[in-house]
Structure 1
């Protein structure tokens, strides 16, 4: 026996929730992609050198739970470059990896904002497009599944 709640059954509410969740993630992915495109549009290029690798374990809540053996630290490249103003700058990339994507001494292309050289990033796929793709992909997946369930459910009734 199905008991509707204010005209909607549990299936409709779950479908609505999945579509909403997917739509939210899709919007976040699109906003992050827009931020990357905006950054690329305004960015200046410079040559940089990886001067160090900063190893960090970014596991959330490691103090309150056991650390699993799979929780390995990631290497974040620390890059030094000289923008057009001539003042050497150093920044840590926002993207880390294990095994490391870069080694000390590697030459990299740096993108930075001319009005704010401290806002810099390595010109690489992961640092520019990983988050937009993850959020957008998950958003499309969940919104697509929710929509398919809604269409099939609508046709059956």
Structure 2
């Protein structure tokens, strides 16, 4: 039988939030959820989040930048990035600001993903070409980026 979490004091909520944020960036929505799951009531969780934001321990802008870097380093396209940002309930304007400042080259990222996964060999058959297209589509690249990646990895 699962017991209810202990109700947190303001000091415990603060320590929990700082502990979570010291490990990695969290979106404001994610941090609120974690505080609530561990026993902070809604008001305490909100006050703790606001204090973290005021002291610049939590920033949705930094989280958006981190999410973008994460997706690029994993070879994931814009569609995956947007899906993850929606899951974290991140303001799309913050994500767009991160995209504008970083200006990732999605075309080259798609091309490098194909080369990393399939090597330098050209896709000889239609079946192999479809396999590569499906791979890139699952990784969040659009049709233009996929077409570019396949044309430039075959040469």
TM class, shorter-length: under 0.3
Instruction: Name the structure where strand makes up a greater proportion of residues.
Output: 1
Q: Under a length normalisation based on structure 2, what TM-score does the superposition of the two structures give?
A: 0.27
Higher relative contact order (CA 8 A, sep 6+): 1
Higher-Rg structure is 1
Instruction: Name the structure where helix makes up a greater proportion of residues.
Output: 2
Q: Under a length normalisation based on structure 1, what TM-score does the superposition of the two structures give?
A: 0.26
